[in-house]
């Protein structure tokens, strides 16, 4: 399929789409899609997990994937992207899909081809082919942040292989055609020569944003932000050990389980924390803001007393009641000094 065909497909289907999705290029990517799945589109409670009340008219995820014409890895990634809503099974267990949800998807125009296209991912070589550019140029565009990976898998050498939504590549080609040919812009060239690589950072940002979109509980939202910080950074922002423990407890878990292999878990552990100074600062700021909102909603549990729960802080009146600290106080809490304070 040429870039023109990709663009035609994108233009034909864009109006009917609520958001993009993709399909891992190989079965080896299934664990990445499963971990990326985060919490379900019907999250509830302080942990943001799937609803525990599954009605009788539900089917198992495997059967739902079959009825929708998707491979299991495609299905799991579609859940992460918010294209398919799932509910929890009674008493726990693997999530299920309402029959009404399957019927809704099957009734959409272009089913099943459109749904399959919406959950299709490509690697570097195939993505370059779709855009009719060299793989080296595609890699430069990805490193510069022009296109963002949606998931990844480990190849036989345990190297990370990034995967991209085919639909997002088509949108990029339509939006920035000048970047597909000619000389690389000077600013981008300078970035790349300095070693810039935004692939992991953009993957983290999209993953966090999608988790936040379906996570209403304030403490679970703070836990999502905390997941992008290593233990040292986290302890500097959240100095209360009980609050740190609570953030771990309510952190949204993957719908379909954690990566199975040790190598997969290690790769996820290395890629999840922010690793650039300005990205780290951004995550610390966002965690501090979410933490203020969570504390106003309810205190973190503590051992002893009234089931270990502290009294809720007094609600402030006026503009300060929104829980957004001033820039100087916020940076002080984060361990950063305000420029010009000596």
Residues of the chain above pLDDT 90, percent:
58
Of residues 217 and 54, which shows the higher confidence score?
Answer: 217
Select the more confidently predicted residue: 180 or 31. 180
Mean pLDDT for the chain overall: 78
Q: Average pLDDT for residues 101-130, to the nearest whole number?
A: 95
Distance CA 34, CA 31 (A): 5
Dist CA 308 CA 77 (whole Å): 38
What integer pLDDT is reported at residue 94 of this predicted model?
A: 79
Which of 88-97, 110-119, 129-138, 191-200 has the weakest average pLDDT?
88-97
Region 118-145: mean pLDDT is 96
Burial class (CB in 10 A: 0-12, 13-18, 19+), 250: buried
Cα dihedral 279, 281, 284, 285 sign? negative
Phi, psi torsion values for 144, nearest 5 degrees: -80, -5
Map residue 216 onto helix, strand or coil.
coil
pLDDT of residue 332: 55
Confidence of residue 265 (pLDDT cuts 50, 70, 90): confident
Q: Residues 121, 166: contact at Cβ < 8 Å? A: yes
β partners of residue 58? 98
Between CA 342 and CA 310 the distance in angstroms is: 37
How does pLDDT run across 274-304, given as a tens digit for each residue?
A: 999 999 999 999 999 999 999 999 999 998 7
Cα separations in angstroms, 151 against 137, 247, 256: 20, 25, 15
- Would you tell me how many other CB atoms lie within 10 Å of the CB of residue 57? 11
Joined together, the tokens standing for residue 6 give 């990709």
What's the confidence (pLDDT) of residue 329? 53
Q: What average pLDDT does range 97-115 have in this prediction?
A: 94
Cβ contacts of residue 301 below 8 Å, gap of 6+? 242, 246, 307, 308, 309
User: Any idea what the Cα angle at residue 204 is, between residues 252 and 98, rounded to 5°?
Assistant: 45
For residues 129 and 169, is the Cβ–Cβ distance under 8 A? no
Contacts of 142 (CB under 8 A, 6+ apart): 124, 148, 149, 162, 164, 198, 199
Among 69, 89, 90, 85, smallest CA distance to 37 is for 85
Please say if the pLDDT value at position 101 is more than 90.
Answer: yes
Residue 71 confidence (pLDDT) above 80: yes
Read off the pLDDT of residues 226-245 as tens digits, 9 standing for 90 and up.
Answer: 999 999 999 999 999 999 99
Is pLDDT of 139 > 90? Answer: yes
How far, in Å, CA of 339 to CA of 329, rounded? 13
Look at residue 160 and give its three-state secondary structure. Answer: strand
pLDDT confidence bin for 8, thresholds 50/70/90: low
**pLDDT over 70 for what percent of the chain?**
69
Tokens of 108: 């959409």
Residues 150-199 pLDDT 10s: 999 999 999 999 999 999 999 999 999 999 999 999 999 999 999 999 99
Is the CB of residue 164 less than 8 Å from the CB of residue 127?
A: yes
Q: How far is CA 206 from the centre of its chain?
A: 4
pLDDT of residue 323: 40
Lowest model confidence (mean pLDDT) among 7-16, 77-86, 170-179, 302-311: 7-16
CB 115 within 8 A of CB 18: no
Question: What one-character-per-residue DSSP string does 81-128 give?
Answer: TTSS--BPPTTS-S-EEEHHHHHHHHTSTTTTHHHHHHB-EE-HHHHH
State how far the Cα of 181 lies from the Cα of 225, in Å rounded to an integer. Answer: 38
Comparing 48-57, 79-88, 269-278, which segment has the lowest mean pLDDT? 48-57
Distance CA 74, CA 237 (A): 37
Element (H, E) at 137: helix 135-143
Highest mean pLDDT pick, 81-95, 245-259, 316-330:
81-95
């Amino acid at each position: 399929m040429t870039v023109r065909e990709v663009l035609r497909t994108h233009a034909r289907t864009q109006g009917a789409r609520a958001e993009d999705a993709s399909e891992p290029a190989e079965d080896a990517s299934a664990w990445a899609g499963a971990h990326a799945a985060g919490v379900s589109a019907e999250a509830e409670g302080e942990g943001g997990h799937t609803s525990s009340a599954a009605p009788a008219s539900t089917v198992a995820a495997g059967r739902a994937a079959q009825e929708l014409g998707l491979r299991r890895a495609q299905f799991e990634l579609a859940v992460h992207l918010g294209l398919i809503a799932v509910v929890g099974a009674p008493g726990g267990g693997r999530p299920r899909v309402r029959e009404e949800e399957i019927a809704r998807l099957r009734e959409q125009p272009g089913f099943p081809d459109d749904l399959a296209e919406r959950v299709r991912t490509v690697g570097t070589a195939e993505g370059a082919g779709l855009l009719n550019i060299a793989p080296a140029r595609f890699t430069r565009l990805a490193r510069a942040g022009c296109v963002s990976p949606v998931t990844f898998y480990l190849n036989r050498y345990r190297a990370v292989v990034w995967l991209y939504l085919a639909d997002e590549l088509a949108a990029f080609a339509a939006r920035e055609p000048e970047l597909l040919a000619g000389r690389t812009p000077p600013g981008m060239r300078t970035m790349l020569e300095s070693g810039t690589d935004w692939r992991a950072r953009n993957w983290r940002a999209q993953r966090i944003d999608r988790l936040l979109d379906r996570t209403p509980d304030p403490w679970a939202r703070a836990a999502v932000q905390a997941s992008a910080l290593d233990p040292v950074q986290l302890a500097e922002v959240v100095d209360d050990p009980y609050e740190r423990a609570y953030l771990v407890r309510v952190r949204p878990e993957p719908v379909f389980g954690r990566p199975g292999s040790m190598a997969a878990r290690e790769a996820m552990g290395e890629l999840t924390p922010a690793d650039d100074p300005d990205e780290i600062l951004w995550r610390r700021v966002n965690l501090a803001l979410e933490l203020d909102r969570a504390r106003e909603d309810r205190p973190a549990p503590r051992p002893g007393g009234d089931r270990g729960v502290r009294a809720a802080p007094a609600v402030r009146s006026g503009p300060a009641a929104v829980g957004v600290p001033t820039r100087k106080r916020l940076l002080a809490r984060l361990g950063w000094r305000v420029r010009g304070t000596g």
